[in-house]
Amino acid sequence: MSVKHHASAIAAVGLPDPQLIAQLERAGIVTLVVAPERAADFIAEAMRNDTAPPLTLLVRLERPLAMARQLRALYPQGQLLLLCEADAVAGVRRELGRTPMMGKGVSVLGISDPGLVAEIGKTVQAVRLRQRLRTTIARANAVLAAPKSPADLRLQQLVTAERYLGSLLEQASDAIVGLDPQQRVAYWNAASSRLLRLPLKDARGRAARDLPLWSAALDAALADAPAQKERTVLEVRPAVLAGVVLEITLSAIRDDGGALLGTMLLVRDVSDRHLLLDAERARNTAAITVAQSRYHQMATLFDQAPGFMAVTRGREHVYELANQAYLNTLGVRPLLGNAMDAAFPELEGQPFQHFRDQVFISGQPFIGKDMPVLLRRGAHGALEQRYLDFVYQPLFDDAGAIWGIFCQGNDVTEQKLMHDLLVEHQGELERLVDERTAELQKTQSALHHAQKLEAIGKLTGGIAHDFNNILQVIGANLDLLGQEHAATAGAPGRIASAQRAVERGAKLTAQLLAFARRQPLKPAPLNLGRIMRELDDLLRRALGESVEIETVIGGGLWTTLVDRTQLENVVLNLAINARDAMRGGGRLTIEIGNAMLDQHYVSANEEVRAGQYVMLAISDTGHGMNADVLERAIEPFFTTKGEGDGTGLGLSMAYGVVKQSGGHLKIYSEVDQGTTIKIYLPRSELAEIVEQSPRRTRVSGGTETILVVEDDADVRALVVDQLVGLGYTVLRASNAQTALSVLQSGARVDLLFTDVVMPGTLRSPELARLARDILPDIAVLFTSGYTQNAIVHAGRLDPGVELLSKPYGRQQLAAHIRAVLDQRAAHRVPDAGAGLRILVVEDNEDARDMLCQMLTMFGHQPQCVGSAEAALPLLGAADLLLTDVRLPAMSGIELARLALQSHPALRIVFISGAHVPTLEFPAVVLQKPYAIEQLQAALSG
């Protein structure tokens, strides 16, 4: 294959990849592979035959630049492309840069460059275009070289000039649009088509107003074109070219006589320039905004600074800056631009001004501390003595000369006067500190005393449970022995003596529990005046005829919530203590009345709250107590009596009962002047409940089935024997989980008799709740020697809970069992269908669970929540709202008001432990604690 037959082929010197040759062939490029040693001969022969390749590839040569120099010398116009591995491209390019004589026709690419084939095709196309242009020019030169007439020569020159001009305009990068006198397109170059997105065939002859570049500004400029002598430059933003900004240079084209031949528009896209300008403008605007913001911030900080600040200029101290604190301190008046002497003439001769002059002269800063200054706050106000802390700092220019002074400081008049006052009254302060120290020591002593009492209380409470179980075993066995040996000579007396010892032990544990505030109280609203009248005979028998008793009862007594039995024990114990203090003779005065404890009293007695109370005072004319005895008077086992004459538990028991009832006990005593003990019990808004005196009945049993749950084996065995002896059917369990299994087995149980404190994870109250779920009619009776907090809250038995305290005798057991069983039938609610839909709102979880269980037993449908917010969306599904008054966020009264607005027919029942104010809507108030009968009455009312 000769070179002549492949004049359009490119040459590849070296070892090109077959894949590259195939890609070039698919692109329409024929490649001739030439060995490196034949490259020079190949080029020389091709040039002689006028078939030199448009492009020569030097592929993977060891010395590509040496080969390039050799071929370049043979064929200076030829294009050379050096193909190297990717990691060698940078090195070859550096070497090529050091050989400028190589010319512009040499380039370097990587053999694996993805754009290699496209780059080769572009180079080949450009070389071929230049070859055609050279051929065309050669032919034109041949034609032009032929002899021509003058006219032909002139015409030829014009044609050549026109073609030259046309070629020049076509190659221009800017759009050029020629308009005829009628403003229609006469010329439209290639750049116009690209820029305005309109091809020549669509643009030629079109009116200017229909072009994409049309705008009102261009319309005005074209209208003025006939009269214009200078070119016009304008910028337009065509509506059809979104985001494009065009710069249009408009020039009028005239003939030699000045007549308008048309208009030429030079159009350039300046969008990028505008974007840059807009970005620069935005940056400048942002910088200005930041600078202004910082300036305003600094100005604000300067003006709002807590200390006064000012800047003065020159020897005359002319004000340049001053903040608001400066004006507030030295006086509000015009400052800026005024000298200090003119603005504040009252400062003349004062150190404040003198030191400023010194700073300006010396250039040394000055610090003033507690500097006295006479200032006039107003223009005509009186001079006022002030004290200032300040600093004068000299300000220097670039040359190091002082040009002004910066003043910064604070008005410390109040601090100075306070310091002087503190110094003046240092002795008074020391006295106050001593008093405060004494108060703190007193408070600390009271705290230690309270901690000691609390520790004793915890100890006694822990002992009581086991001790009462022991007493229960002893007492029950004595009961059984009394029945078995009733006819044995001497046995009844001994058994009776042992039973009295058990009773004394039970009384002792009761007193211990009372002091520890672990007694399960059953408070009721009582009138203390009536109770004291009923106790009068008992007190007189207990104290004897040698003690004169005087009782003073005030009128209009309030009721108070208190456990009557415990209160009677308190009064009896205090009265006996008073009798012993009077050594058998004297006067005992009992006074009852209403009382108000105010904040003044509360401040001296931190353990009591201000409010309304019922006061019970017991006074004697005995020997009284000194300070040491008074401090320990309520401690358990502390007594001034001889050994064997007292346990020291009477007053401690009284203290525990009063505190557990929410009250306050105060002892007033002086040696040889007697003692007064005042008991304050909180007032109750409930009406008095008059209790019927219990009638003694014989021991009776029954035929019901009782489930006994007791972890102490001895106690459990004795209780079972006693109940079987009373005729009952008895089931037994050693813990709550076993008892639950018995109930779930389907056994019929009429009464659950369970200890409160038992081992295991299932608590007794939870067992009782589950028992009622299984047997809704079951009765429950708790027993314990120490209730903890399982069924007692705030010192009181939970509503509806029945408790038989250990130790108890056979008669007490029989009476309680029979009473609870008889109560079951009385409290059973007749079946009335589905009952009421009751929405219960109570934040105390235990109280809420117990209340919902009771409502379920009554046959109602309770829905129980812990807050007013949770209750609001449930109001529509309720017939009755049963809510506590005090709730975490929204109160029960506020909840009721909202409920009645959307549900006017909803019935409202409030549960409250405090006084409920008068309401503007109908509602039933159920005071805590309440009995089952009271709850039923509130629901039915």
Looking at residue 881, what is its pLDDT?
93
Q: Which residue has the higher pLDDT, 515 or 117?
A: 117
Poorest-confidence range of 80-89, 340-349, 799-808, 813-822? 799-808
In eight-state DSSP terms, residue 207 is: B
In eight-state DSSP terms, residue 339 is: B
Q: Is residue 314 within 8 Å of 327, Cβ to Cβ?
A: no
pLDDT at residue 753 is higher than 90: yes
Residue 617's pLDDT band, with cuts at 50, 70 and 90, is very high
Residue 558's pLDDT band, with cuts at 50, 70 and 90, is very high
Looking at residue 756, what is its pLDDT?
82
Question: Average pLDDT for residues 350-361, to the nearest whole number?
Answer: 84
Dist CA 495 CA 232 (whole Å): 136
Taking every pair of C-alpha atoms in the chain, what is the biggest distance, in angstroms? 180
Q: Which residue has the higher pLDDT, 413 or 932?
A: 413
pLDDT at residue 382 is higher than 90: no
Distant-in-sequence, close-in-space partners of 288: CB < 8 Å, separation ≥ 6: none
Dist CA 214 CA 529 (whole Å): 110
Q: Which residue has the higher pLDDT, 568 or 801?
A: 568
Positive or negative torsion for Cα 612, 616, 622, 625: negative
| Separate counts of helices (H) and strands (E) for the chain | 29, 34
Positive or negative torsion for Cα 56, 57, 62, 65: positive
Question: Average pLDDT for residues 249-260, to the nearest whole number?
Answer: 81
Paired with 263 in beta bridges are: 179, 252
pLDDT at residue 674 is higher than 80: yes
Residue 883's pLDDT band, with cuts at 50, 70 and 90, is very high
- At 467, which amino acid appears? F
Q: Which of 71, 46, 58 is nearest to 16 (CA)?
A: 58
pLDDT at residue 581 is higher than 50: yes
Q: Is residue 763 within 8 Å of 772, Cβ to Cβ?
A: no
Phi, psi angles (nearest 5°) of residue 257: -90, 0
pLDDT at residue 827 is higher than 60: no
pLDDT tens readout for residues 676-703:
989 999 998 887 877 654 444 455 788 8
907-912 and 924-927 strand pairing:
parallel
Q: Which of 694, 695, 711, 697 is nearest to 814 (CA)?
A: 697
Q: What string of DSSP letters covers 525-585?
A: EE-HHHHHHHHHHHHHHHH-TTEEEEEEE-SSPPEEEE-HHHHHHHHHHHHHHHHHHTTT-
Dist CA 732 CA 752 (whole Å): 10
Question: Average pLDDT for residues 268-276, to the nearest whole number?
Answer: 83
Residue 616's pLDDT band, with cuts at 50, 70 and 90, is very high
pLDDT at residue 481 is higher than 80: no
Classify 600 as helix, strand or coil.
Answer: helix
Tokens of 275: 């974007």
In eight-state DSSP terms, residue 486 is: T
Question: Average pLDDT for residues 54-78, to the nearest whole number?
Answer: 85
pLDDT tens readout for residues 642-671:
554 445 455 777 787 788 788 888 888 888
In eight-state DSSP terms, residue 830 is: P
Looking at residue 111, what is its pLDDT?
86
Give the percent of the chain with pLDDT over 70.
79
Looking at residue 695, what is its pLDDT?
46
Angle between helices 64-74 and 89-97 (to 10 degrees): 50
Looking at residue 447, what is its pLDDT?
61
Q: Please tell me the pTM assigned to this model.
A: 0.34
pLDDT at residue 592 is higher than 50: yes
Q: Which residue has the higher pLDDT, 177 or 850?
A: 177
Positive or negative torsion for Cα 779, 783, 787, 790: negative
Looking at residue 841, what is its pLDDT?
93
Q: Is residue 637 within 8 Å of 648, Cβ to Cβ?
A: yes
pLDDT at residue 934 is higher than 50: yes
pLDDT tens readout for residues 178-228:
888 888 988 888 888 888 888 888 888 889 888 888 888 888 888 887 777
| Average pLDDT, rounded, for the chain | 79
pLDDT at residue 70 is higher than 70: yes
pLDDT tens readout for residues 522-554:
678 888 888 888 888 878 877 887 888 888 888
Residue 375's pLDDT band, with cuts at 50, 70 and 90, is confident
Tokens of 404: 């002004």
Q: Which of 338, 368, 364 is nearest to 353 (CA)?
A: 368
Looking at residue 648, what is its pLDDT?
47
Question: Average pLDDT for residues 816-837, to the nearest whole number?
Answer: 66
Looking at residue 160, what is its pLDDT?
60
Looking at residue 272, what is its pLDDT?
82
Looking at residue 641, what is its pLDDT?
59
Element (DSSP H or E) covering residue 524: strand 524-526
pLDDT tens readout for residues 417-469:
888 887 777 777 777 777 777 767 766 665 665 556 566 655 555 555 556 66
Tokens of 540: 């007189």
Question: Average pLDDT for residues 882-894, to the nearest whole number?
Answer: 89
Tokens of 414: 């109040």
Between the alpha carbon of residue 228 and those of residues 225, 232, 260, the distances in Å are 5, 8, 10
